[in-house]
Structure 1
Amino acid sequence: MQTAQRIINAYRRKRIIVCLTIALVTLVLTLGVRFISQRNLNQQSVQNFASQSVNALDKLLLPLKAAQAPMQTLVGQPCSQAHLALRKQAAALQTVRSIALVEKGILYCSSIFGSRNIPLRTLQPDLPSPESKLLLSTDSSLLKGTPVLILWHPVSEDGESGVVQIVNIALIAKIMLEPQPPLITDVSLNVGERYLRYSRGVTDSLQVEENGNRLEHPSAHFPFSLTVASPSASEVALLSLPGQLPLALMLSLLLGYLAWLVTASRMSFTWEINLGLAAREFELFCQPLLNARTQQCMGVEILLRWNNPRQGWISPDVFIPLAEEHHLIVPLTRYVLAETVRQIDYFPATPDFHIGINVAASHFRHGMLLQDLNRYWFSARPVQQLIVELTERDALRDVDYRLVRELRRKGAKMAIDDFGTGNSSLSWLEKLRPDVLKIDKSFTTAIGTDAVNSTVTDIIIALGQRLHIELVAEGVETEQQARYLRQHGVTLLQGYLYARPMPLRDFPKWLTERGSPPSAHQHRQIMPLMPLR
């Protein structure tokens, strides 16, 4: 069977494991949530950057697109007439470096240089074109080598005549294409098959590091896109986790401590006892008491056993003291009362048969015992004699002798168990005037072997006889002990010499094999009370 310290240590280990598990899970979940949140935030930040940059460039180009119509009407007019209008339009658009008019493939008028006569194809091999185009190139006339965006708008069916708008993209690129470590390591403006990167100029190829992600965001209005290179969002989020560790540790310790407080009642022996009562895991046993001279069974002492499906058999020496310590002995006694009445048919229906019920002194407080006996025992009106037994391990000062007197008036008797080993005094014998004194088995075992305890046993026997109190000897295991007790006037004996504790359902068979119970005309002997042992 389990020992008290072993069970308590087992529950303490379970509580520690549960609390540590909760703390660890909280730590992992907190860091995991922060990791996922930061990863998603990183991904969203990269997407927002690309979207905002494309939108910003769209806002710069849309006014140029809106200004196409008035510029197209100038194509074919002499430069002397159109030049002022070109200059005004370039000044109004602000972002435009220059506007040029092209007729039959010849750039003949510029907002900056005025009249010119240069084949457009020599400046831009892809122009003129019958379709509107957006080109990424470098300036070849004013600020040579600087990146520019060229917007071509044809006005003739063959595409040889049209308007050229040149946008200074250098300053915009420094603002829009600047990387933002650690999230964004590279940004590229893609127009056709040419690319503009921060501080690297216009190139014909785009190389991005293999380790990392690429996000390409196209414009909804113009034929360009933005490519954003970034390390893995998970990698960046992982690097930020050490900064989240203090908060995660504080939260895990807090929840672990709360779990320790919550499990104080739900993962303790008190919770186990309550669970056992609710699940009816406790079973009633009984041990017969025999008349020392006639060898007839005069009654039984009810014993409580616990086959815990989670812990195995738990000794009464373990759960009874723990139940008393945690104020659960009263619910256990109520369980014993209810179960004894429910299974009362296992016992002979005669008033000369005694049934002992063990009761703690604390059960007497505020009249609780009388209320419980009225509810479970007296209301059922059993024929058998009830003996209420007090153990000396309890403080007998809690017992109200007026309540004892009321119990006697209702037909119950009073016994003191394990007499001589507890904390009662002779004054309580005078106040309580018990009907029975039960000699503890430690004194019974000492008969014939221990001179000191044998002398104490003789004193207890003499005291009981002098006060006219019935004596019951517990723990009788040898014929020598039984003979000694009979010779000294102890007539009720209990112990392994006669019977071991047995389940209530086995008692009728034992009684049949042993002999008939006492008849009503026989001398009425006192039968001890049931310890919850």
Structure 2
Amino acid sequence: MQNAQRIIKSYRRNRIMVCVLVAFITLFLTLGIRFISQRNLNQERIHTFVSHSVNALDKILLPLQAGRETLQALVGAPCPDAHLTLRKRAATLQTVRSIALIKDGILYCSSIFGDRDVPIRQVQPDLPSSQPQLVLSTDKSLLKGSPILIQWYPVSDSGEDGVMQIVNIDLITKMMLEPQRPLITDVSLNVGNKFLRYGQNVTDSLAFTQDTMILSQTSGHFPFTITVSGPGASELALMNLPSQLPLAVLLSLLLGYIAWLATASRMSFTWEINLGLAAREFELFCQPLLNARTQKCVGVEILLRWNNPRQGWISPDVFIPLAEEHNLIVPLTRYVIMETVRQIGYFPANKGFHIGINVAASHFRNGVLLQDLNRYWFNARPKQQLIIELTERDALLDVDYRIVRELHRKEVKLAIDDFGTGNSSLSWLEKLRPDVLKIDKSFTTALGTDAVNSTVTDIIIALGQRLNIELVAEGVETQEQARYLRHHGVNILQGFLYARPMPLKDFPQWLAESSPPPAPRNGHVMPAMPLH
């Protein structure tokens, strides 16, 4: 059978494992959630940055597109007539460095230089064009070598006539191409086959290191793309994870402690007892009581056994004290009463046969015992004599003496079990007025071997006879003990000498044969351990 220390240690170990598991899961989930949250936030910031850059350039180019018709109408007009309009337009837009008019492929008028006579192909090889163009190039006129962004709008079908607006790309670079470290380490503008990086000149290629993340977004209005690179949202979130560790540890400890409190009832032996009651894992055994002179069985004591499918056979010495400690002894006793009534047919149906049921003193409080007996025992109207056995080790002061009187009125006998082993006052015998005193087996075993205990046994016998209380001796194992007790007036004997505890279904056969019951099931030896 399982012992108390082993079972409690097992449940405590399982409970600790669950709490540690909860703490670790909380730790990993917290770090995981923080990682995912930070990664998503980084991704959102990257997308926001790219979208903002594209929108910013769109806002610069859209006003240029909106005013193109006014400028296209000036193409072919003499430069002195158009120059003032070009200067006002460039000043109004602010983001435009210069505006030029081209006729027959010749740049003949500029908002900055006025009259000019320069072939456009010498200034920008990609122009003129019969289609509107957005060109990323290098300035060869004003700030030679500096990057420029050109917006070209043709006027003629041949494309030799048109308007060229040069955007202040240096200002644009500062507005939208500046990286946001450490999230974004590099930003570039791509127009056609040209690229412009922050702080660099226009190039024909764009290369990033293999370990960088790349995200691109193309404008919905103009043919340009913004590309950003960096270590990546996940990598940065992972790098930021150690800063989240203190919070994650604190939260995991908190939930681990909550799990410890939450499992106090569910992962404890008390939960196991409740589960056993619900699953009807407890089984009733009985041990016969014999008349010392006639050797006739006059009654039984009902005992409770527990074959736990998860732990194996559990001794009453383990689960009864724990049940008493955690206020589960009353449900256990109620279960015994219900099962005894349900299986009452195994016992002789006559008033002379008594059935003893162990009851804790706490069951007497508030009339609970009387309510249970009225509901289960008296309602079934069994013919056998009921004896309520109250363990002397219990706090007898908890007994409601009014309930005792009511039990006597209902012809229920009261016995004090294990008499002589507790610290009760003799005055309680007067208050309780028990019908039976059960001499503890420690005194029975000492007969003939221990002079002190033998003397105490004699005193208990004399006390019972003086008070006219029926005496029952527990733990009788030898003929010598039986003869001694019979000689000294103890009329009811109980012990291994006559029968070991047996399942209720085996009792009729034992009673018929007047011999010990069959061997215990499954090879388990079931010691006599009453419900107390």
Task: Give 1:185 deviation, angstroms.
Answer: 0.7
- Compared CA separation, residues 399 and 75, structure 1 to 2 (3 A): closer
Matches within 5 A, 1:85-484: 85-484=85-484
Task: Give 1:371 deviation, angstroms.
Answer: 2.0
Task: Give 1:366 deviation, angstroms.
Answer: 2.3
Instruction: Tell me how far apart the structure 2 counterparts of residues 97 and 371 of structure 1 sit (CA, whole Å).
Output: 101
Q: Which residue of 2 aligns with 1:532?
A: 531
Instruction: Tell me how far apart the structure 2 counterparts of residues 474 and 400 of structure 1 sit (CA, whole Å).
Output: 27
- Root mean square deviation, CA, Å: 1.5
Task: Give 1:470 deviation, angstroms.
Answer: 1.4
Q: Which residue of 1 aligns with 2:498?
A: 498
The code of the aligned residue for 2:316 comes to P
SS in 1 for 2:356: strand
Instruction: Tell me how far apart the structure 2 counterparts of residues 75 and 370 of structure 1 sit (CA, whole Å).
Output: 114
Task: Give 1:144 deviation, angstroms.
Answer: 1.1
Deviations 1:371-413 (A, max 9, x none): 2222211221111011111111112222233432321221111
For the 8 Å contact 2:139–2:145, the answer to whether it is kept is yes
Considering Cα pairs closer than 8 Å and 6+ residues apart, tell me whether 1 or 2 has the greater RCO.
Answer: 1
Task: Give 1:415 deviation, angstroms.
Answer: 1.0
SS in 1 for 2:338: helix
- Compared CA separation, residues 363 and 112, structure 1 to 2 (3 A): same
The range that moved more, 47-56 or 452-461, is 452-461
Q: Which residue of 2 aligns with 1:67?
A: 67
Task: Give 1:56 deviation, angstroms.
Answer: 0.3
Instruction: Tell me how far apart the structure 1 counterparts of residues 54 and 332 of structure 2 sit (CA, whole Å).
Output: 78
Instruction: Tell me how far apart the structure 2 counterparts of residues 487 and 163 of structure 1 sit (CA, whole Å).
Output: 136
Task: Give 1:365 deviation, angstroms.
Answer: 2.0
SS in 2 for 1:274: helix
Task: Give 1:261 deviation, angstroms.
Answer: 1.8
Instruction: Tell me how far apart the structure 1 counterparts of residues 405 and 324 of structure 2 sit (CA, whole Å).
Output: 25
Q: Which residue of 2 aligns with 1:2?
A: 2
SS in 2 for 1:377: helix
- Compared CA separation, residues 114 and 402, structure 1 to 2 (3 A): closer
Q: Which residue of 2 aligns with 1:519?
A: none
Deviations 1:112-160 (A, max 9, x none): 1111111111111111111111111111111111111111111111111
For the 8 Å contact 1:357–1:531, the answer to whether it is kept is no
The code of the aligned residue for 1:445 comes to T
SS in 2 for 1:324: helix
Task: Give 1:234 deviation, angstroms.
Answer: 0.8
The code of the aligned residue for 1:224 comes to F
Instruction: Tell me how far apart the structure 1 counterparts of residues 245 and 352 of structure 2 sit (CA, whole Å).
Output: 75
Where in structure 1 are there 5+ consecutive unaligned residues? 516-529
Scaled by the length of structure 1, what TM-score is found? 0.95
Instruction: Tell me how far apart the structure 1 counterparts of residues 405 and 68 of structure 2 sit (CA, whole Å).
Output: 116
Deviations 1:288-319 (A, max 9, x none): 01112221111100001111222221111111
Instruction: Tell me how far apart the structure 1 counterparts of residues 496 and 191 of structure 2 sit (CA, whole Å).
Output: 103
The code of the aligned residue for 1:228 comes to V
Deviations 1:8-63 (A, max 9, x none): 22222222222221121111111111100111111111111011001100110111
The share of aligned pairs that are identical, in percent, is 76
Count of residue correspondences:
519
Task: Give 1:192 deviation, angstroms.
Answer: 0.8
Task: Give 1:282 deviation, angstroms.
Answer: 1.1
SS in 2 for 1:477: coil
For the 8 Å contact 2:95–2:171, the answer to whether it is kept is no
The range that moved more, 273-282 or 47-56, is 273-282
Where in structure 2 are there 5+ consecutive unaligned residues? 516-528
Task: Give 1:431 deviation, angstroms.
Answer: 2.4
For the 8 Å contact 2:392–2:417, the answer to whether it is kept is yes
Task: Give 1:5 deviation, angstroms.
Answer: 2.2
Instruction: Tell me how far apart the structure 1 counterparts of residues 134 and 110 of structure 2 sit (CA, whole Å).
Output: 19
For the 8 Å contact 1:303–1:532, the answer to whether it is kept is yes
Instruction: Tell me how far apart the structure 2 counterparts of residues 43 and 189 of structure 1 sit (CA, whole Å).
Output: 20
Instruction: Tell me how far apart the structure 1 counterparts of residues 436 and 241 of structure 2 sit (CA, whole Å).
Output: 74
Task: Give 1:70 deviation, angstroms.
Answer: 1.3
